[in-house]
Amino acid sequence: MALNSLGRDIPDTFAGKKLTPYRDPWSLQPHAERSTRAIRRLTHNGSKLVGGLREAVIAAGLKDGMTISTHHSLRNGDSLLNDLVREIDALGIRDIKIASSSIHVVHAELIPYIRKGVITGLECGVNGPIGELISKGELDCPIVVRSHGGRARALICGEVPVDVAFLAAPCCDEYGNFNGYYGPSACGSLGYAQVDAQHAHKVVAVTDNLVPFPAVPIGIPQTVVDFVACVPSLGDPKKIVSSTTRITTDPIGLQIAKYAAMVIRASGYVKDGFSFQTGTGGISLAVAEHVRDMMRKDKVKGSFGCGGITGYFVDMLEEGLFEALFDVQCFDLKAVESIGRNRKHQEMTAGTYANPFNCGSVVDRLDCAILSATEIDVDFNVNVNTESMGYLLHNTGGHCDVAAGAKLSIVVAPSIRGRLPIVRDAVTTITTPGETVGVVVTERGIAVNDRLPELKAELIRMRAPVKDIRQLRDEVYAITGVPRPIEFEDKVVGLIEYRDGSIIDVVRQVRR
User: Is residue 226 involved in binding another protein (CB under 8 A)?
Assistant: no
Q: How many CA atoms lie within 13 A of 467 on its CB side?
A: 20
Q: Give min distance, CB of 469 to another protein, in A.
A: 17
Of 60, 114, 224, 254, the one binding another protein by CB under 8 A: 254
Of 29, 251, 343, 360, the one binding another protein by CB under 8 A: 251
User: Is residue 361 involved in binding another protein (CB under 8 A)?
Assistant: no
User: Is residue 288 involved in binding another protein (CB under 8 A)?
Assistant: no
Q: Give min distance, CB of 17 to another protein, in A.
A: 46
Of 211, 252, 300, 324, the one binding another protein by CB under 8 A: 252
Of 8, 202, 444, 456, the one binding another protein by CB under 8 A: 444
Contact region with another protein (CB under 8 A), list: 13-21, 252-260, 341-349, 352-360 = 252-260
Q: How many residues form the binding site for another protein (CB under 8 A)?
A: 11
Say whether 302 sits in a helix, a strand or coil.
Answer: strand
Residue 23 or 417 having the CB closest to another protein: 417
Q: Give min distance, CB of 266 to another protein, in A.
A: 13
| Neighbouring C-beta atoms of residue 340, cutoff 10 Å | 19
The continuous run of DSSP H or E covering 446 comes out as strand 445-448
Question: HEC string of 11-66?
Answer: CCEECCEECCECCCCCCCCCCCCCCCCCCCCCCCCCCCEECCHHHHHHHHCCCCCC
Inter-axis angle of helices 191-199 and 148-156, nearest 10 = 10
Which residues within the stretch 449-488 sit at the binding site for another protein (CB under 8 A)? 462-463, 479
Residue 18 or 463 having the CB closest to another protein: 463
Contact region with another protein (CB under 8 A), list: 49-57, 150-158, 253-261, 391-399 = 253-261
Q: How many CA atoms lie within 13 A of 47 on its CB side?
A: 9
Contact region with another protein (CB under 8 A), list: 199-207, 246-254, 260-268, 297-305 = 246-254
User: Is residue 163 involved in binding another protein (CB under 8 A)?
Assistant: no
Q: What share of the chain is helix, strand, coil (3-state, %, to 5)?
A: 30, 25, 45
User: Is residue 244 involved in binding another protein (CB under 8 A)?
Assistant: no
User: Is residue 443 involved in binding another protein (CB under 8 A)?
Assistant: yes
| Neighbouring C-beta atoms of residue 185, cutoff 10 Å | 26
Contact region with another protein (CB under 8 A), list: 21-29, 157-165, 254-262, 369-377 = 254-262
The DSSP code sequence of 373-390 is -SEEETT--EE-SB-TTS
Contact region with another protein (CB under 8 A), list: 45-53, 117-125, 248-256, 305-313 = 248-256
User: Is residue 135 involved in binding another protein (CB under 8 A)?
Assistant: no
Q: Where are the alpha helices (DSSP H) in 377-448?
A: 399-405
Residue 252 or 333 having the CB closest to another protein: 252
Residue 255 or 284 having the CB closest to another protein: 255
CA-to-CA distance for 405 and 149, rounded, in angstroms?
Answer: 11
Residues ≥6 apart with Cβ < 8 Å to 76:
104, 105, 106, 236, 239, 240
CA-to-CA distance for 354 and 362, rounded, in angstroms?
Answer: 6
Q: What is the DSSP letter of 454?
A: H
**Site residues (CB under 8 A) for another protein?**
249, 251-252, 254-255, 258, 443-444, 462-463, 479
